[in-house]
Amino acid sequence: MSPLQSNNSTTSSTTTDCETSNCCSTVSTDNSATNGTANNGIDSDIDTACYNWEKLADSVLAGHAITYAEGEAILGAPDNQLLSILAASYKIRHRYFANTIQLYFLMNAKSGLCPEDCSYCSQSKISKAPIEKYNLLNREKIMAGAQEAVDRQSKTYCIVISARGPSEREIQAIEKMVPEIKEKHDLHICTSLGLLTDEQAIRLKACGVDRVNHNLNTGPTHYEKICTTHTFEDRINTLHSVRKAGMEICSGGIIGMGETTTDLVEMALKLRELEAESIPINFLNAIDGTPLEKQDDLSPSYCLKALALFRFANPSREIRISGGREIHLRSLQPLGLYPANSMFVGDYLTTDGQLPEQDYQMIKDLGFQITKNETYEV
């Protein structure tokens, strides 16, 4: 019996309240209960049996690794179970991070000019989005970004370039700037430079880079539908190079690109297999001029269930609410910080974020605290 299921013999036949410890229902494939995709990947005949989300959380905390079926059940649960799912995911989050929030600041150090054809990206070669395009920023601007990260109470400064992979000139620039940043500021450094070789990863580690971001973006089956110029396996290989070099892995994905729930569960469990230390979860911002500009099938409740999925699948890992939260979570943004323990503060690569002051107020209103610690010891 799955930890998700309660023993029917112990359940009163008169119990009907979905917020009680045992909740019997069937996973719905109706758009209102999922992400609005016609084929959401859940078999309409799957019976959710009697779910006990808190029991599943306790099992995860005891070492249970959630199954594919349990992952799909989280995504397919009816909305009247949402608060129970969030409470259970918060129980896991609290074990490792208590009520702390880690902030990240993002610097788009090279914009546009990318030869890849990622269909979600405004910087790709096939995008017609009217974005600013420029080569690698100079030292002064990147150093100023580091100071801004400090001013915004960030734990990590993320330096991002648009590229298939870094040029020798770009690697050398990173090698010069990272030691200077770390000497001046108490910041972790994360770089996102595209596909990496073993040798490039070793050089990044040697100059002081703590973590490399390279998102899986979606599950392996769906990947070829969003990009044809490189493969899912290319991304996996880069993450293996990062790990072999001794750096932490930052890798997550984008929800809302037409993927099925099975694709999303596959990504969550693949990140568990990779033991990614940090998992940024984006919600598709369908930017005009990109192939996915008309893609719009997310609801706030589904986005919250997705965040809970990643917490259940990766209990001790940093889960970060990233791009698109303002658009898709909307007034429910604070609830996202019950499964997640991290967020970007400020703007994203080519889109605007919420004002930092609004984020600080949201964190304060929740009774949470900004921290630079990696974990919270119970």
Active site residue 227: no
Report the alpha-carbon distance of residue 308 to residue 279 in Å, rounded: 12
Q: pLDDT tens digits, residue range 112-121? A: 889 999 999 9
**Residue 2: its pLDDT value, please?**
60
pLDDT band at 372; cut points 50, 70, 90: confident
Q: Give yes or no for residue 378 having a pLDDT over 70.
A: no
* Architecture of the domain spanning 100-370: Alpha-Beta Barrel (3.20)
Active site residue 118: yes
User: CA torsion sign, 297 to 302 to 308 to 313?
Assistant: negative
Return the amino acid letter for 204. L
| Residue range 54-60: mean pLDDT, rounded | 98
Q: Given the residues 227, 250, 303, 325, select the one marked as catalytic.
A: 250
The pTM of the full predicted model, rounded to 2 decimals, is 0.88
Q: Given the residues 50, 93, 152, 190, select the one marked as catalytic.
A: 190
Report the alpha-carbon distance of residue 131 to residue 85 in Å, rounded: 39
Q: What is the residue-averaged pLDDT of the chain?
A: 88
Report the alpha-carbon distance of residue 52 to residue 29 in Å, rounded: 20
pLDDT band at 42; cut points 50, 70, 90: very low
**Residue 28: its pLDDT value, please?**
40
**Residue 122: its pLDDT value, please?**
87
Q: Given the residues 23, 50, 114, 227, select the one marked as catalytic.
A: 114
Q: Give yes or no for residue 43 having a pLDDT over 60.
A: no
Q: Given the residues 23, 118, 227, 303, select the one marked as catalytic.
A: 118
Active site residue 190: yes
Q: pLDDT tens digits, residue range 179-233? A: 999 999 999 999 999 999 999 999 999 999 999 999 999 999 999 999 999 999 9
Active site residue 320: yes
| Residue range 105-130: mean pLDDT, rounded | 91
- Residues forming beta bridges with residue 224, ordered by sequence position: none
Question: Range(s) for CATH 3.20.20.70 in the chain?
Answer: 100-370
46 vs 272: which has the higher pLDDT: 272
pLDDT band at 51; cut points 50, 70, 90: confident
User: How far apart, in Å, do the first and last CA atoms of the chain sit?
Assistant: 30
Active site residue 250: yes
Return the amino acid letter for 344. F
Tokens of 11: 């359940």
**Residue 19: its pLDDT value, please?**
38
**Residue 27: its pLDDT value, please?**
43
